[in-house]
């Protein structure tokens, strides 16, 4: 309900606007939320859970390391593109910190697993995971404000930017190898020979 009001009225909507648009008296809101900040935090938590679920599901569904990178970026962009005002509302109230940490930890786990399977030290996985999430988030924020290209082009450019660093590092060569039980990059829509 709150997210529908934010989507319709924009990121600058306040508690009075939300109560009026939803037809619910302000005192009723305060039965469920201690104050305005609590309401904003709950909206942020809901958005974060959705972004995390969509992004991690896309990463897990892709087969190759490069495909996982592109799929995660694409899912994140698709998520904020589908609800831009809600995303702006959450960013404005600084409630996205937790979601970035969760996605960063998931990316760390994915990268670390590839490294461990290759018999390598996974100590750098956390830096890579959080670095990728930070890069994608900053670029996505700008793209949401200045749509100078399609989402597919953004995904391609960000993947092309990050992938050489991952695959070109000493341990990154191991990531470029197919993991036992997964498909190779052949025919992969996010693979190195094609754009998403």
pLDDT digits (tens, 9 = 90+) for 36-91: 677 777 777 777 778 888 988 998 999 888 999 999 999 999 988 988 887 777 77
Residue 155: the pLDDT is 97
- The CB density around residue 152, as the number of other CB atoms within 10 Å, is 13
46-176 has CATH 2.60.40 classification: no
Q: Which of 18, 61, 68 is nearest to 43 (CA)?
A: 18
Domain extents in the chain = 46-176
In three-state form (DSSP H/G/I as H, E/B as E, the rest C), the secondary structure along 8-66 is HHCCCCCHHHHHHHHCCCHHHHHHHCCCHHHHHHHHHHHHHHHHHHHHHHHHHHCCCHH
What does the pLDDT read at residue 188? 41
Query: How buried is residue 67: exposed, middle or buried, by Cβ count under 10 Å (0-12/13-18/19+)?
Result: buried
Within 10 angstroms of residue 32's Cβ, the number of other Cβ atoms is: 10
CA distances from 176 to 10, 65, 67, 125 (A): 43, 7, 11, 15
Least confident of 28-32, 33-37, 61-65: 33-37
pLDDT category of residue 111 using cuts at 50, 70 and 90: confident
Q: What tokens were used for 170? A: 């000493």
């Amino acid at each position: 309900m709150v997210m529908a009001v934010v989507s319709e009225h924009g990121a600058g909507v306040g508690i009075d606007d939300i109560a009026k648009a939803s037809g619910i008296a302000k005192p009723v809101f305060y039965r469920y939320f201690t104050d305005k900040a609590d309401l904003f935090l709950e909206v942020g938590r809901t958005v974060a859970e959705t972004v995390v679920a969509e992004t991690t599901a896309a990463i897990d569904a892709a087969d190759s390391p490069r495909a996982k990178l592109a799929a995660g970026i694409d899912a994140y962009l698709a998520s904020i593109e589908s609800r831009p005002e809600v995303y702006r509302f959450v960013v404005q109230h600084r409630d996205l910190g937790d979601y970035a940490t969760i996605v960063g930890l998931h990316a760390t786990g994915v990268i670390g697993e590839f490294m461990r399977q290759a018999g390598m030290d996974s100590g750098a996985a956390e830096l890579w995971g959080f670095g990728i999430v930070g890069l994608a988030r900053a670029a996505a924020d700008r793209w949401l404000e200045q749509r100078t290209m399609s989402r597919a082009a953004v995904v391609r450019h960000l993947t092309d930017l990050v992938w050489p660093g991952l695959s070109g590092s000493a341990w990154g060569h191991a990531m470029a190898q197919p993991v036992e039980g997964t498909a190779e990059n052949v025919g992969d829509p996010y693979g190195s020979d094609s754009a998403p």
